[in-house]
Structure 1
Amino acid sequence: MSFRREPVPFAFVAEADRFRSNVAPPPRERASAGEIAGRCLLGLTIVAALVGSLILGMPALSISHSPAQTQQSQASHGH
């Protein structure tokens, strides 16, 4: 069986994977000092917020055994 290649409308779509452009994109502009400072400040703010929430949340996450011990001691004194 011989396969005949059918004509494809918009042949450039079929050949798009083989196409390489000889036009280079324009170079990226360097970030200004203000933009770099703003990015650093934003990063430090996010890190400070995470550390602050961790510090404020640690007492709520800690397991305290003192209320359970006082209930057991009161129950033993009552009997």
Structure 2
Amino acid sequence: MFRRREPVPFAFVAEADGFRSNVAPPPRHRSSLGQIAGHCLLGLTLVAGLVGALILGRPALSSGDAPTQTQQAAHGR
């Protein structure tokens, strides 16, 4: 293949790296105290739900080696 000898029509793309804008970005939006409290409460609710599910689910995850109360009562007769 042969190379073109004419200049690239998009030469401004190479100059874009040195361009600096004089427009400042808008200031960041600051969350209000109520929004921060709401985010904290939502996070605490999610963590409490996961901990509660783990506590309630632990008996179902046990291996079942320990005899239950109904089995102990049946053997005690």
5+ unaligned residues in a row in structure 2: which ranges?
A: 72-77
CA distance in 2, matches of 1:17, 1:60: 63
CA distance in 1, matches of 2:4, 2:29: 54
Secondary structure of 1:59 counterpart: helix
Q: How does 1:10-25 map to 2 (within 5 A)?
A: 14-15=13-14, 18=17, 19-25=19-25
CA distance in 2, matches of 1:53, 1:34: 28
**Identical columns (%):** 60
TM-score w.r.t. the length of structure 1 is 0.62
Count of paired positions: 65
CA distance in 2, matches of 1:44, 1:16: 51
Q: CA RMSD in A?
A: 2.9
Which residue is equivalent to 1:5?
Answer: 7
TM-score w.r.t. the length of structure 2 is 0.64
Which residue is equivalent to 1:77?
Answer: none
